[in-house]
């Protein structure tokens, strides 16, 4: 089943924002969760997890959580207290921001830039039962929030999907994705992972911020190469390394590549995350 759609516009300044950047694949999981496959087969892309703490009238501070491949699941989940469980409405889990119920037309100028449907969906491109393999595991798992497009490519790039003689204009697509999370009073967001065989945990809000409602947090999951100069490379080729269809890799003639009118530079077209959703 795909992510449940919602027309509720995500807060771009939510109490907690989860940012997805680089080679990763987002798909619906059990219990209305989101499973994030982290591509681990490229020696030029390095996974990092960090938290950015933002306070009014102060420069953001950065907390590094993890650098290097995951050795176990990375959990991102709200843990309610007894008080919030008794008073708050049930959490719907992870939803996807789709502001209209009509079919998404990429060529329209009035599309909402936060619409999750800007993201490339590998199941729309290939087949409804495409999935990622062990090359994108262990996974990260999110149990709440509204997914949306947090960064779009420039119109001038004019990206196209190419397969054989077929060229499909994309117009624009999601360069980064995010999830907006509302933290009810007295609840907390727990980040859990394994490092060197030892379980780790980080909780939001931090103890020092509990009485500061204007503090916001951005949890960044990053799987990008270092950006120094523009480098021509096709991210779809990386994704096909970890995609499979009914247990088999996707053959060359069935694969897409990407083409651009003008070559991107530095972070104008970062390594985009993709969806496995339809």
Strands (DSSP E) contained in 30-123 are 33-38, 46-54, 61-67, 74-79, 94-97
Model pLDDT, residue 196: 80
Amino acid 155: pLDDT:
85
What is the three-class DSSP state of 109?
coil
pLDDT at 85: 54
User: For residues 19 and 147, is the Cβ–Cβ distance under 8 A?
Assistant: no
Could you tell me the two tokens for 166?
A: 């077929």
Burial class (CB in 10 A: 0-12, 13-18, 19+), 271: buried
Q: Would you say 213 and 14 are in contact if contact means Cβ atoms under 8 Å apart?
A: no
Please give the structure tokens belonging to residue 194.
């394994």
- pTM of structure: 0.92
Task: Please name the residue that has the structure tokens 């809000």.
Answer: 205
User: What is the Cα gyration radius of the chain?
Assistant: 19
Rounded Cα–Cα distance for residues 75 and 83 (Å): 23
Confidence (pLDDT) at 84:
54
Instruction: Give the domain ranges of the chain.
Output: 4-275
Taking the C-alpha atoms of residue 158 and residue 174, their distance in angstroms, rounded to an integer, is 13
Give the other-Cβ count within 10 Å of 64's Cβ: 9
Digitized pLDDT (tens) for each residue of the chain, 278 residues in all: 899 999 999 999 999 999 999 999 999 999 999 999 999 998 888 899 999 999 999 999 999 999 998 999 999 999 866 545 555 667 889 999 999 999 999 999 999 999 999 999 999 999 999 999 999 999 999 999 999 999 998 888 888 999 999 999 999 999 999 999 998 888 899 999 998 888 999 999 999 988 888 999 999 999 988 765 545 567 899 999 999 999 999 999 999 998 887 665 545 556 899 999 97
Please give the Cα distance from 142 to 204 (Å, whole number): 14
| Residues 243 and 135 sit within 8 Å (Cβ to Cβ) | no
């Amino acid at each position: 089943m795909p992510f449940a759609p919602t027309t509720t516009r995500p807060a771009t300044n939510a109490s907690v924002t989860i940012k997805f950047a680089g080679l990763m694949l987002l798909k619906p999981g059990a219990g209305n969760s989101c499973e994030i496959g982290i591509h681990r087969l490229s020696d030029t892309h390095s996974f990092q997890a960090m938290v950015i703490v933002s306070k009014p009238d102060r420069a953001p501070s950065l907390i590094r959580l993890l650098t290097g491949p995951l050795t176990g699941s990375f959990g991102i989940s709200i843990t309610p207290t007894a008080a919030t469980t008794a008073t708050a409405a049930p959490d719907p889990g992870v939803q996807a921001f789709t502001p209209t119920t009509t079919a998404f037309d990429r060529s329209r100028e009035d599309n909402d830039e936060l619409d999750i449907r800007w993201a490339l969906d590998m199941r729309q491109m290939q087949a409804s039962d495409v999935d990622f393999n062990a090359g994108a595991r262990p996974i990260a798992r999110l149990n709440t929030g509204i997914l949306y497009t947090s960064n779009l490519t420039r119109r001038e790039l004019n990206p196209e999907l190419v397969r054989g003689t077929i060229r499909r204009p994309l117009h624009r697509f999601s360069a980064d994705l995010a999830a907006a999370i509302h933290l009810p009073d007295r609840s907390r967001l727990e980040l859990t992972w394994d490092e060197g065989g030892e379980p780790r945990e980080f909780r939001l809000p931090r103890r020092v911020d509990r009485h500061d409602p204007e503090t916001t947090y951005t949890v960044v999951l990053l799987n990008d190469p270092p950006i120094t100069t523009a480098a021509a490379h096709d991210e779809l080729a990386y994704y096909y390394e970890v995609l499979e269809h009914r247990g088999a890799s996707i053959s060359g003639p069935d694969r897409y590549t990407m083409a651009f009118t003008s070559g991107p530079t530095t972070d104008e077209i970062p390594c985009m995350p993709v969806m496995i959703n339809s």
